[in-house]
Chain A
Amino acid sequence: MILIKKKRVRMYKTKTFYSLIIFILIGFSPSLLFAQEEKSDCVLNLEQAQSKYNQGRIQDVESLIGDCLKEKGFDKAAQTQALKLLTLSYLFLEEPEKAEKTMLQLLSHNHLFTVNTAIDPSEFINLYNKFRHEPLYSIGILGGLVTSNPIVTKLNSTQDLNNSNKQQYAPLLGFRIAVNAEYKLKDNIYAVAGLGFTSIKFQKTHTPTNPISNISIDGNGFDGIELQTSVELPLLIQYHIMQTNKLTPYVALGVAPQLLLNASYPGETIKNTVGGSAPATTQTINLTQDRNSFNLYGVIAGGLKVRINEGFFNVQLRYSYGIFNSTKEESTLNPSNPNLLWDLSESSDVFRLQDLSIAIGYTFDFYKPKKLR
């Protein structure tokens, strides 16, 4: 009895489900069919228009596809084909103003439209070339890893370096993220400006030797990781070595003014050991006042752009060289935090900074087609 009841309930549910599906299909099918029919009409009209154009009955083209263009009855590819066909028609009907108008519509509709010099009529190509069809500017974002290493110009120490090991530096990984804008100056040459944020770090170690024994004990001495964060405004000239539809390798040269936001030895990364004693450590030592707040970097970069839709994927390798010293010379013996000198026995070297970064990103092209004068 119970089994029969359950079976009836299941049959009822199945029936209800199928009824719902049928209702939905019946309810929506007229509009779907109507839409397909309308779209098909425009596509048919476009095919007819193309046929008329090919037969030389150019005056019939506009009447066939004009309404569909106004009513946006084409998909993107058909719209491009229709506008091109209309432009060609106007050109051969010697209606240049209308031709220019539809060319502008064409370039506004499809930013990536290009002429086919092998088959397109020269009039059409000439008209195309009268318009700005390349991006007005491009804006992108780049981010990646950066390693930095000081170029020491003055070797300082609270230790006797004439009779001792010298300090050593090792690059560590940081990061850089930037927003860049590109503007075409002339063929293959672009101006690139940006705003970037950089965080670099490098490690300094120094194991001095003892005066009598001239022995350096493992683990003795200073060990600190300097961290610097800054913002920069790179200004580069970018040259496209070659340009295909897909790939554009490039090189760039320029400068990057940089404003230091913060420099420090984070507390947990700094220590000094004397004669095998427990290492002396301190809280974070702020070095911002001991470093020059402004610097100018010479920049050389190279990369590859890969066209994707209306933009490009960008991979870039960049080398930056600090033109001015990062260290304030007057701070080497008078650091803003005296613990650096007296408790950690650390007198900063005078150095410039260099860095190498690898970054990836995506750049959006912004088009504004117009007739060139």
Chain B
Amino acid sequence: MRIAFLYLYIFAIISGCSLDNLEPSQTNTFLKFYSETNEMESKDLIVLNDGFLVLSTYSESSSLLMKTDLLGNKLWAQSINDFLGSSLVEIADGYILIGDGINSDDDSTYMQLIKTDFDGGINTTIQVGYGAQHGSAIMLSSTNEIIALGYTSTGQLNDSNDSTYVIINGYDTNLTKTWDEIRQYPVFGVDIIPSKSLYESNNGKLNWISYSSQDEIITNTDLTAISPDAAPVGNLPLFDQNSAANFEGDLVKTSVGFAMVQTVAENGFKIGIATSINGVVMDEFVIPLEFNSIVSSITNTSNGLLIAATSDNHEERERSDWNLLLLEVDINGQAKTNGINVSYGGDGDEIPVRIRNAKDGGYVVLGTSVNTKGAKQTFILKTNKNGLLE
């Protein structure tokens, strides 16, 4: 036995070419995991000229802001305590994050905006609202104004409506308030929460969709279009008020208007897709898939739309885990015969959060991977233009 170990030792020495001198291979398509803890929750990703900016949470009160290069290698990472981020936007001199600030004294939450420099250093932090507010989405308007979208559930409306409702406000890029007051946007008798995307339409209106947090009832999803610093002008229920409760949808600006996706409760969970022009819903239907799908995000392709969802589509039907599904539809939301239709994942759950267009024509998916032991990691999947790893 000693001889065998000696023999092994000698071989380990002579064959052990050090990997320290070997540069990691860099490919345009990749899958990368990031885990500060085993409680990572991915929140948002934006594509920069020189990389990706990723926002995750890694505990019940801390967020991770991380910049990677275009190949997924970390350039820097910043921990932000007492803050659960939701979304982020790039501005001329840094980045602005929106999310929930946490009062460490009583664990109460409030909407919080944080401005950082290009290295993630925090410059400005502001608290929005009166308490129990939550930040959901953020955008930079064509007039260089920061629009912050969130919701509150404390019944602060003047009409004493105590339902959960949308709040929205405007700031300059130094986070100085530019609107006279926070806009409040209720739907009477229904709790609504805005989703993670906020866009400005060509006619200068703000567009987002909301979902309901009320369980076990038929809920609605609304396309809302308002003019900045003005009263809301639209509130259109989608999918025949058949959206699945508590599932956040997404919308994306298209060449002609907007496309929206939402999980619909129809024979399980299905992908609902709708299109609108100038705040008017043009079409809406449910994609007839044979398996359950919970939709997360949507982006444009060269001649259609790409939906990121999680599905239980397995050849082995006894499996119950959820895999990432990328499904391409045409501009009207109809499934494309030769479009992208690919699944990724193993025995754990792969849950996409955001899909974006990469600079090279491919796609970037930010998501959360939950392995079979329940450990959660942030992942970035960068595919080619066909949605594939190569």
Which residues in A have some Cβ–Cβ distance to B below 8 Å?
A: 145, 147, 149, 151-152, 154-163, 166-173, 208, 210-213, 272-282, 330, 333-334, 337-345, 347, 350, 354, 356, 358
Contact = CB atoms under 8 A, between A and B. Distances in A.
Contacts of A273: 375
B35 A147 contact: no
A212 B64 contact: yes
What are the 6 tightest A-B residue pairs by CB atom distance, in nearest-first order? A275-B38, A342-B346, A274-B375, A277-B375, A339-B346, A161-B24
B37 interface: yes
Contacts of A161: 24, 73
B346 A341 contact: yes
26 contacts: A147-B11, A147-B12, A149-B12, A156-B25, A158-B31, A160-B32, A160-B68, A162-B24, A163-B73, A166-B24, A172-B8, A173-B4, A212-B78, A273-B375, A274-B376, A275-B36, A275-B38, A276-B38, A277-B38, A279-B373, A282-B372, A333-B30, A341-B31, A342-B346, A343-B348, A356-B11
Interface in B12-36: 12, 14-17, 19-20, 22-25, 27, 29-36
Contacts of A167: 19
Contact of B34 (A160, A169, A278, A330): A160
B37 A275 contact: yes
Given A147-B12, A208-B35, 15 more contacts: A155-B22, A158-B33, A160-B68, A166-B24, A171-B11, A171-B12, A274-B371, A274-B376, A275-B35, A275-B36, A278-B375, A333-B27, A333-B31, A339-B347, A354-B15
Nearest to B30: A333
B33 A168 contact: no
B4 A210 contact: no
B226 interface: no
B290 interface: no
Interface in B30-72: 30-40, 58, 64, 66, 68, 72
A85 B387 CA distance: 88
Nearest to A153: B22
A342 B36 contact: no
Contacts of B11: 147, 149, 171, 356
Contacts of B39: 275
Contacts of B371: 272, 274, 277, 280, 343
B321 to A, nearest CB: 9
B19 to A, nearest CB: 5
Contacts of A147: 7-8, 11-12
B25 A342 contact: no
B299 interface: no
B301 interface: no
Contact of A163 (B74, B347, B374): B74
B248 to A, nearest CB: 23
Contacts of A158: 31-33
Contacts of A339: 346-347
Nearest to B388: A334
B345 interface: yes
Given A345-B33, A345-B377, A358 B389 contact: no
Contacts of A274: 35, 38, 371, 373, 375-377
B346 A210 contact: no
Contacts of B374: 277
Nearest to B26: A162
A342 B38 contact: no
Interface string B73-91: 1100111000000000000
Given A151-B17, A211-B34, A280 B372 contact: yes
Nearest to B390: A333
A354 B374 CA distance: 38
Contacts of A155: 19, 22-25
A358 B19 contact: no
Contacts of B36: 210-213, 275
A18 to B, nearest CB: 56
Given A149-B16, A277-B374, A338-B344, A210 B35 contact: yes
B149 to A, nearest CB: 28
A106 B291 CA distance: 84
Contacts of B17: 151-152
B27 to A, nearest CB: 8
A38 B97 CA distance: 112
B374 to A, nearest CB: 7
A147 B5 CA distance: 11
A162 B389 contact: no
A272 B79 CA distance: 25
B350 interface: yes
A338 B37 CA distance: 23
Contacts of B373: 274, 277-280
A149 B17 CA distance: 9
Contacts of A338: 344-346
A166 B372 contact: no
A145 B7 contact: yes
Contacts of A154: 25
A275 B77 contact: no
B369 interface: yes
Contacts of A210: 35-37
B55 to A, nearest CB: 13
A345 B35 CA distance: 11
A208 B74 CA distance: 13
Contacts of B8: 147, 171-173
Contacts of B12: 147, 149, 170-171
A211 B77 contact: yes
Nearest to A282: B347
A166 to B, nearest CB: 5
B74 A152 contact: no
Residue of B25, B29, B389 ringed by the most chain A CB atoms within 10 A? B25
Nearest to B38: A275
A211 B36 CA distance: 6
A345 B33 CA distance: 7
Q: Which interface residue of A155, A172, A211, A354 has the most chain B CB atoms within 10 A? A: A211
Contacts of A162: 24, 73-74
B389 A171 contact: no
Contacts of B38: 274-277
Contacts of A212: 36, 58, 64, 66, 77-79
